Structures are given as C-alpha cells and as structure tokens.
Amino acid sequence: SLLPVGETWIVIASQSQARIFRYLGLRSGLRLLEKIQHPEGRMLDRELGGDRPGRSYSSVGHGGRSSYSDEHSPHEEVARNFARVLTEKLRTAHGRNEFRALMLVAEARFLGILKSCLDDQTRKALVATLDREYHQKSSSELSRRIEEYLLSG
C-alpha cells in the first residue's frame, strides 16, 4: 500500500542521528525536514554491531556483578534517551497535524526501542516500519530503497 503523499513522514534513524523526511510521492522522492544529531550515540553505532548478547557491565560495589539488566545497560540508556527525544518530537508534530502517516526506518534493535517509546496517538499513525541500517545513505538512494519497498509491499 502506498503512503499518503505530502502527509507522510519517514524517519530514518540510528543511535547517533535521525533524518525526518516528508514523502512527496513515487518518483518525487523525499524532502528533508530536519536532521537531528545525537553524538553520544556514535560509539553505539560502531559498537552495537559487534556486541555479543549477554555482555555484562561490572560496577564497583556490586561484587563484580552487573548492576544493569540487559535492558538497561549504559548502551541501552543512550539509545533510549535519543528515542525519547525523537518520539517526543513526533508526538508534538502529530498533535499539530503535521503528518497523518508515519514510517520508521532503523536497525532492528533501535526500531524496537523507538516503537516502544511512541505514544498511543502517534503509534496509530505508524503505517510502515523497515528494519534496515539506512542512516548512512544519501537522500536519493533512500528514495530509491523506500520506493522499492513500497512497491513490493
């Protein structure tokens, strides 16, 4: 199903940055509305790829045991903080009727965090998600990839 032209926002996010685009329709591409940087997440982009599950962070005074559950490791906190900033921005924009439909594009783990931070109203606007690492791609490349996805879906 195709997205409502002019009323859809597409958010391409990673832990270190996000770009918000307005969808202008097939072959018309995307218009960049805003780019949001999150420098603390840069380390995560590099490290999360190689992160093995179950890694623990020892902290002094806890007998060497991790003081964090896997859910709330320092990595997770940094990612979550950025997700909250993004989803709050989306909530405000949606409240002002700046978009009617929303598509989120991020790597699986961050996508999950983003979705969990969305408020109910904005979640209703979420029409598509794409589990991909696209934050490095140019706007024209993104347009192409997203159109392929929309046409195949």
Q: What is the value of pTM for the model shown?
A: 0.78
pLDDT tens sequence across 3-49: 888 899 999 999 989 999 999 988 888 999 999 998 888 776 566 55
Per-residue pLDDT band at 146 (split at 50, 70, 90): confident
Q: Which two tokens stand for residue 33?
A: 């509305």
Q: List beta partners, residue 49.
A: none
